[in-house]
Amino acid sequence: MSIDTYFQQLKHPNPNVRNQAMWEIAANYDAEVITRLMNILDDEDTNYRRSAVKTLGEIGHEAVSPLVDAMLHSENVTVRGSATKAIAQVVICHPDQPLSDEGVAGLKAALQDPNPVVNIAAVMAMGEIGEPVLDILIEALRETDNPALAISLVNAIASIGESRGMDVLRWIIDNEATDSYVKESAISALSRCEMTAGFNR
């Protein structure tokens, strides 16, 4: 089957057909295929858009440069959000390969995006990366005055589970100026971590 047929199948209502097409495209990609997938990131068809995000994730680190560019420079918030989610997929699909410095710097910049679709997706991607980006997450949590972003940062830091992260959660809890929702999230995240640590001893 031709690559065009596989691109058509990325729109298919059946997820098995979409997945098969995704793997075929990822196994046979070139620069032009990456560009075509990038052009779907603002498609109105949600299935098609999500399939493109997952396919870029399957393709992996070769796709990171154009994704960072779209995440930071597209005027279209759907494209920025989809590109951020695709970088998270790269990390999930290729756990043995660390994300490039360009990718990490891009995610760090995306934390400043005014749109929650983008900044919260960036936090989720960094939560997947884990310990190597913990300091960036901690710094963002200390500096942000956006409660929704702070709550997702708290959860990402808690999921990484390092003692440095636990210290910043305690700092958030003890800080008079902390938003009450953020404080509640930090308290429950910290107690989850302490339970997990208890189980792991």
Residue by residue, DSSP assigns the chain as: --HHHHHHHTT-SSHHHHHHHHHHHHHT--HHHHHHHHTTTT-S-HHHHHHHHHHHHHH-GGGHHHHHHHHHH-S-HHHHHHHHHHHHHHHHH-TTSPPPHHHHHHHHHHTT-SSHHHHHHHHHHHHHH-GGGHHHHHHHHHH---HHHHHHHHHHHHHH--HHHHHHHHHHHH-TTS-HHHHHHHHHHHHHHHHHHHHH-
Interatomic CA distance for residues 66 and 193, integer angstroms: 36
Output the pTM of the full model: 0.90
pLDDT of residue 10: 94
| Fold type of domain 1-129 | Leucine-rich Repeat Variant (1.25.10)
Average pLDDT over residues 15-28: 95
pLDDT of residue 1: 80
Tell me the pLDDT tens digit for each residue of 169-194.
Answer: 999 999 999 999 999 999 999 998 88
Interatomic CA distance for residues 116 and 191, integer angstroms: 26
| Fold type of domain 132-201 | Leucine-rich Repeat Variant (1.25.10)
CA-angle at 94, arms to 64 and 78, nearest 5°: 45
Q: Where in the chain is the domain with CATH 1.25.10.10?
A: 1-129
Quick one: what percent of the chain has pLDDT higher than 90?
91
**Residue 172 structure tokens:** 């958030």
Interatomic CA distance for residues 128 and 152, integer angstroms: 13
Task: Look at the chain and count its residues.
Answer: 201
Tell me the pLDDT tens digit for each residue of 53-69.
Answer: 999 999 999 999 999 99
